[in-house]
Amino acid sequence: MGQGCCTSRSVVEPVSQNQNASVNSITNQPNAPGPLAVTTGVSTHQPAAAGGEDKDFIPIRTTAKPIVFFVLGGPGSGKGTLCANLVKKQKFVHFSAGDLLREVAKEDSEDSKLVNSYISQGKIVPVRITISLIENAMRAKGWEKCRYLIDGFPRNLDNYQGWNEVIGDKADLKGIIFITCTEETMMKRILKRGETSGRVDDNVDTAKKRFVTYNSETFPIIEAKRKENPDSVFEVSAENSPDQVYAECMKKIAHHL
Ligand code: ADP
Ligand code: C5P
Ligand code: MG
């Protein structure tokens, strides 16, 4: 699972002249999008330049609610890889629903058996389990103090309803980062990852089932959201290199940070 946050935030103060001095090559704006930026005792919150971090870092703003992006795309499309870059370069906090569920699967509990059986069949685990994992993970990281990537969620209507019931207005959901590539590319990536991942679902048979689940349950959610509000779906091609995928993604979401 990706990391990178903020365990505490001590002060909120005006952006310094120094921070304003640089221009963000993604947004073409001074390197602070609003009048306020967060300063913190935790180094991961500091703007880029000084410590050799990304020059295009957009400082994290204080908001009443946590900023959230869902990250969706087919199995093996590269969601985790994109999220890792966003964590590294923009200090997002990243939770992969799949990773959280795989942790549960390792336990010795009733839930773990159920989760294991869903994952092995490429099916979507009931949201009561997944949403509490996500909410607990966000609360443990500081809630409104961070900006979050929720990767591999919502995977179906049940997931989406669970989000609305449990979190809904408590978060500032900016939309869905939707990464796309062909099934051929996804299959190649899954099988390559399967050489070392140890995942029970990184094999041809389960991958095919996951494609079916994606096409029948996940893609319709994305399409419904796009129909409702086209500006809330940030589509990015995942066929290119990870750096290009990151750059294209940032062009689409920078104005929401
Ligand atoms: P997902 O989280 O969507 O299942 P991952 O990020 O785990 O996908 O990526 C699946 C595999 O494909 C990994 O082995 C990863 O290194 C590789 N990969 C991801 N993005 C790219 C890319 N843009 N180009 C080439 N390989 C990639
Ligand atoms: O996103 P990832 O590929 O890691 O998901 C692996 C599996 O975890 C899915 O195929 C599914 O069985 C399960 N999952 C789920 N609900 C989610 C995310 C993942 O049931 N929201
Ligand atoms: Mg993943």
Around ion ligand 3, residues with a beta carbon closer than 5 Å are 79-80
Query: Residue 73 CA: which ligand 1 atom is closest?
Result: 3
Mean pLDDT of the region 106-111? 93
Strand order of the sheet with strand 147-151?
93-96, 147-151, 67-73, 172-180, 233-237
Of all protein residues, the one whose alpha carbon is nearest to atom 27 of ligand 1 is 78
Task: For residues 158 and 51, give the distance between their C-alpha atoms in angstroms, rounded to a whole number.
Answer: 43
Q: Summarize pLDDT for 4-25 with one digit per residue, the tens.
A: 444 333 333 333 334 444 566 6
Q: Summarize pLDDT for 152-184 with one digit per residue, the tens.
A: 999 999 999 999 999 999 999 999 999 999 999
Query: Residue 77 CA: which ligand 1 atom is closest?
Result: 3
Looking at residue 8, its pLDDT comes to: 36
Task: For residues 91 and 40, give the distance between their C-alpha atoms in angstroms, rounded to a whole number.
Answer: 13
Q: Summarize pLDDT for 39-78 with one digit per residue, the tens.
A: 232 233 343 334 445 788 999 887 789 999 999 999 999 9
Q: How far is the CA of 79 from the centre of ligand 3 (A)?
A: 6
Mean pLDDT of the region 223-251? 98
Task: For residues 71 and 179, give the distance between their C-alpha atoms in angstroms, rounded to a whole number.
Answer: 8
216 CB-contact burial (10 Å; exposed 0-12 / middle 13-18 / buried 19+): exposed
**For residue 144, what pLDDT band results from cuts at 50, 70 and 90?**
confident
